[in-house]
Amino acid sequence: MTGDDTAIGSSLGSGWIRRINRRLLVGTSAGGALAVASAQLRTLAQGESTPEMPPMPGMDHSAAPGGHPLGMPTVVGDVDHIANGFNPSDILTDFDGGTVTTLANGQTQREFLITAYNKDIEIVPGLTFPAWTYNGRIPGPTIRVTEGDHVRITFVNAGDHPHSMHFHGIHPGNMDGVFDEASGMVQPGGSFTYEFDAEPFGLHLYHCHTAPLAAHISRGLYGVFIIDPKDPWAPVDHEFVMVTHGYNIDFDTEANEFYAVNGIPFHYDHDRYPIRLRVGESVRIFLVNILEYDAINSFHLHANFFHYYPTGTMRTPSEYTDTITQMQGQRGILEFTYKYPGRYMFHAHKTEFAELGWTGVFVVEE
């Protein structure tokens, strides 16, 4: 936490006022870059029913008279994905298996280069967040290896604070990225190589573990770490990574002002970049919650049920449901298929989070 962060935080009032402010933030700046679509705002204010949906093919709502047919708030315009250097639509399927070699003992080695650096990211149109990133993106690269692989990650700290990579999984204490330079806490300008054998199979994560921890994580220093079982998961038509997180843009360290999947709030909304599927296709989601400051996050799938594998460490699902909750650091694998064509929301079932960005849509076609 820096002095300027504190100044921004203290310029706002009590917790209650902050809670109200973060809601008004989306609603009161109509006319600016950040605004609830006016028709939607009217719908909310007057309790009107949502305007009728236009035909689905093409998803072009430009002809919808007076505005926005969504049942949820959104933002107007788009962020500059090119300047950001990443796009949540790509992050869904961007798996990094590293540079593969075979060691003398026959073991597969996978090597990665991860650099931490500061980067301003446009999180909603017209609003940039002074992020700390792994490889310039939020979340960081999805590192994907197989059980038993030797993993070698060279971590370079090009930021201006000490950082580390703390992996979830089983490894020696001196590879845990916590206490000091000898165990992988890296000063600005320094580097460290984390090295361990990948176990156990499952869906894991990595994040910075440098104090103050909450501040470092909330700035954006986290990513997904998948260890596939040696006997692989059944093949599916789609595998998607989803990291749920928030942005505490006033640095008050209490509540987030925006919530997101894979870096950009509202990105997967149905009139923006929904995720496209076909009826009958099998889908596997690697869902990781790293949300800071709010205690619990959740995932709800509309008009469908999914099999849920907590932490992805067992081959039998623990639950068949349409809603799960996750604490910070909890994660799990979801598997489902859509039976009918249509548009289906997925979102935090803490609906306040959904209205502040943690929402998306699957478009399912015949």
User: Contact residues for Cu ion (CB under 5 A)?
Assistant: 163, 208, 210, 216
Nearest CB to Cu ion, comparing residues 283 and 291? 291
Nearest CB to Cu ion, comparing residues 144 and 163? 163
Minimum separation from the CB atom of position 142 to Cu ion (A): 19
Decide: 289 and 327 in contact? Cβ < 8 Å: yes
- Rounded CA Rg of the chain: 21
Minimum separation from the CB atom of position 329 to Cu ion (A): 16
DSSP string, 77-128: S---HHHHT--HHHHTT-EE--EEEE-TTS-EEEEEEEEEEEEEEEEETTEE
For the chain, give the longest Cα–Cα distance: 70
Minimum separation from the CB atom of position 183 to Cu ion (A): 14
Spatial CA neighbour of 310 closest among 222, 220, 203: 203
Minimum separation from the CB atom of position 5 to Cu ion (A): 14
Minimum separation from the CB atom of position 132 to Cu ion (A): 6
Nearest CB to Cu ion, comparing residues 76 and 291? 291
The total number of residues written for the chain in this structure: 366
Nearest CB to Cu ion, comparing residues 216 and 272? 216
Nearest CB to Cu ion, comparing residues 163 and 284? 163
Nearest CB to Cu ion, comparing residues 108 and 187? 187
Give the CA angle between residues 358, 270, 141 to the nearest 5°: 50
Nearest CB to Cu ion, comparing residues 43 and 218? 218
Question: Within 10 A of 93 (CB to CB), how many other CB atoms are there?
Answer: 11
Residues of 145-176 as b/e, b for ≥16 C-beta within 10 angstroms?
Answer: bbbebbbbbebbbebebbbbbbbbbebeeebb
The Cα-based distances of 142 to 27, 129, 150, 246, 359 in angstroms read: 34, 22, 17, 18, 21
Nearest CB to Cu ion, comparing residues 137 and 150? 137
Q: How far apart are the C-alpha atoms of 273 and 267, rounded to whole Å?
A: 6
3-state secondary structure of 349: coil
Minimum separation from the CB atom of position 221 to Cu ion (A): 5
Nearest CB to Cu ion, comparing residues 210 and 326? 210
List phi, psi (to 5°) of 317: -65, 150
Nearest CB to Cu ion, comparing residues 17 and 158? 158
List phi, psi (to 5°) of 21: -60, -40
Minimum separation from the CB atom of position 216 to Cu ion (A): 3
Q: How far apart are the C-alpha atoms of 324 and 12, rounded to whole Å?
A: 33
Minimum separation from the CB atom of position 174 to Cu ion (A): 18
Minimum separation from the CB atom of position 219 to Cu ion (A): 7
Spatial CA neighbour of 265 closest among 78, 56, 123, 93: 123
Minimum separation from the CB atom of position 55 to Cu ion (A): 48
Q: How far apart are the C-alpha atoms of 203 and 144, rounded to whole Å?
A: 9
- Helices (H) and strands (E) in the chain — how many of each? 7, 23
